[in-house]
Structure 1
Amino acid sequence: MIIAALLFVLSWYQGIFIPNAQGAKDYPVKGVDVSAYQGEIDWKTLAKQDVDFAFIKSTEGSSHVDQHFENNWKEAKGTPLRTGAYHFFSFDSSGVTQAQNFIKTVPREEGSLPPVIDVEFYGDKKKNPPDRNKIEKELQTMVKKLEEHYKQHVILYTTKEAYDLYIKGSFKQCDIWIRDVFTKPSLSDKRTWTFWQYTDREKLEGYDGAEKFIDVNVFNGSEKEFEKYGLIK
């Protein structure tokens, strides 16, 4: 039993076995999310591999801009992929300055997917989680600023732990993009998710970064629903 468990973990870690691969087949619309970790991306090659959309990391906190964002955004727009940008939320910065960083970096363009705020623990934050009221206030501020600028609802990417602590019961105006790389996700309050990151161990062609794996996600809806999803109001 122990050997079998070790083999399971090893095969998952090496990207040989993707636990959610079968469950993800229930959803016809699939996409990736990328950052500087994937290095230089050949977007035409990536787009040919059963991929319909891409979320591209743009910013983090109040000042950081992903070094590959500008080129990724431009090159991805030259493919059939629908694209959107995501921001890694800092628990230590104000919602106003984080929104400003995103807005000055990410263009408002017809057909783009809604802006995403990535809310997850980092560093020692899981052991020492910041106060919910403080984080909710700053996150609500950022959500409002992005909604006003882009005229789209905001997507919140999150883990189950961060969802339960900071999002559950609030942010009804936002769609949820949930990470669960081992099982099909079910939120504790039965809220419906819109995107599901089902693996962080896929291997595709078209990138040369230090990270050999790439995150893959599905959309909770049909191809026709995805065509209309998140269009600017």
Structure 2
Amino acid sequence: MKYGDLLKDKLYPFLNIKLVNKKYGTLGFALLLIVPVFIIIILIFSFSSDSQIAVFKSHEEKIFAHYQEHIFGIDISHYQGRVEWEKVKQFKNGEKISFIIMRAAIGEDEEDQEFTTNWINVKKLGIIRGAYHYYRPDENSIKQADNFISIVNLEKGDFPPVLDIEALPNYQSIKSLKIGLIKWLNKIENHYGIRPVIYTGDSYYHDFLNDTIFQKYVFWIANFNRVKKPKHKNWKIWQFSETGQIDGINHDIDFNVFQGDIMALRKMILK
């Protein structure tokens, strides 16, 4: 339906505005002027919203195409709710899901509500699985490591433990934060016999973690901007979208690309 027909056939009759009568009256004339303006505003906002969605979807498609020789995976937590795991096999473009990393622990004493269920079901799918710890900067790093260890039982074929650091401390310096992170990383490596991976944002890394003490670690970098790669030069995993959609999960999900093929990923897993 054309915009002019919409005004004439739907809106003006509803407002009791007679187009054939030139004597609208003050209210009628005002409405005659105001209504089209409001409709134009609504159409503009609607178009803007649809355009943003299209841009993000287009960006996801471009990343899948640009990294077609690489492998892709997702990460989840209880925010995605209950997952219909029998439907979780591939992305909507047909690309296979090669790894799934899930939140296991939060801070000193919390466990993700869906971790145990997710952990068991991903194992059944035969997809490489991993677990991450959401680090709280103002809580004791050793207690946080103990919390992760008490929850996660890694097995042969699992991805290395992941430290998720994206928050800043309120009660300590950045120097103290780094010391705490190293303590967590060391304890986890000693326990599982494999070096952990660090997850963080692109800007967070450059502002706070660009330090020689972290050079030996593999980085999983989040950057949702419309770029072809993160600023971090040595990223191993790039979380490039937080608005992904796949069958079996009813909420937005994070999409990740691994810097390499499935053989490169298998070299990283627990032996």
Task: Give matches, 1:165-176, under 5 Å.
Answer: 165-169=207-211, 170-176=213-219
In our comparison, the structure showing a higher alpha carbon Rg is: 2
Match of 1:62 in 2: 108
- Contact conserved, 1:61 with 1:88, CA < 8 A, in 2? yes
Match of 2:117 in 1: 71
Deviation of the 1:129 alpha carbon: 9.2
- Contact conserved, 1:153 with 1:173, CA < 8 A, in 2? no
Task: Give matches, 1:46-195, under 5 Å.
Answer: 46-49=88-91, 50-121=96-167, 125=168, 131-169=173-211, 170-182=213-225, 183-187=227-231, 191-195=233-237
Report whether the alignment pairs 1:41 with 2:41.
Answer: no
- Contact conserved, 1:20 with 1:184, CA < 8 A, in 2? no
Deviation of the 1:164 alpha carbon: 1.9
Paired residue total: 221
- Are residues 15 and 204 of structure 1, via their aligned partners in 2, closer, same or farther at CA, if it must alter by over 3 Å? farther
- Contact conserved, 2:155 with 2:270, CA < 8 A, in 1? no
- Are residues 156 and 108 of structure 1, via their aligned partners in 2, closer, same or farther at CA, if it must alter by over 3 Å? same
- Runs (5+) with no aligned partner, structure 1: none
Deviates more, 1:174-183 or 1:47-56: 47-56
RCO comparison, higher one (Cα < 8 Å, 6+): 1
Deviation of the 1:162 alpha carbon: 1.6
Deviation of the 1:9 alpha carbon: 6.3
- Contact conserved, 1:12 with 1:201, CA < 8 A, in 2? no
Q: What is the CA–CA distance in structure 2 between the aligned matches of 1:172 and 1:166, rounded to whole Å?
A: 13
- Are residues 17 and 133 of structure 1, via their aligned partners in 2, closer, same or farther at CA, if it must alter by over 3 Å? same
Q: What is the CA–CA distance in structure 1 between the aligned matches of 2:106 and 2:145, rounded to whole Å?
A: 10
Deviation of the 1:161 alpha carbon: 2.3
Q: Secondary structure at the match of 1:22?
A: helix
Of residues 7, 15, 23 in structure 1, which corresponds to 2:63? 23
The residue identity in structure 1 corresponding to 2:198 is L
Considering only aligned residues, what root-mean-square deviation do their CA atoms show, in Å?
2.6
Deviation of the 1:201 alpha carbon: 0.6
Identity of aligned residues (%): 27
- Contact conserved, 1:55 with 1:86, CA < 8 A, in 2? yes
Match of 1:206 in 2: 248
Deviation of the 1:11 alpha carbon: 4.1
Deviation of the 1:6 alpha carbon: 9.2
Deviates more, 1:32-41 or 1:5-14: 5-14
The residue identity in structure 2 corresponding to 1:184 is K
Which portions of structure 1, spanning 4 or more consecutive aligned residues, are displaced by more than 6 angstroms? 3-6
- Contact conserved, 1:118 with 1:158, CA < 8 A, in 2? yes
Deviation of the 1:8 alpha carbon: 6.3
TM-score by length of 1: 0.85
- Contact conserved, 1:15 with 1:202, CA < 8 A, in 2? no
- Are residues 136 and 53 of structure 1, via their aligned partners in 2, closer, same or farther at CA, if it must alter by over 3 Å? same
Q: What is the CA–CA distance in structure 2 between the aligned matches of 1:154 and 1:222, rounded to whole Å?
A: 20
- Contact conserved, 1:58 with 1:66, CA < 8 A, in 2? yes
- Contact conserved, 1:20 with 1:181, CA < 8 A, in 2? no
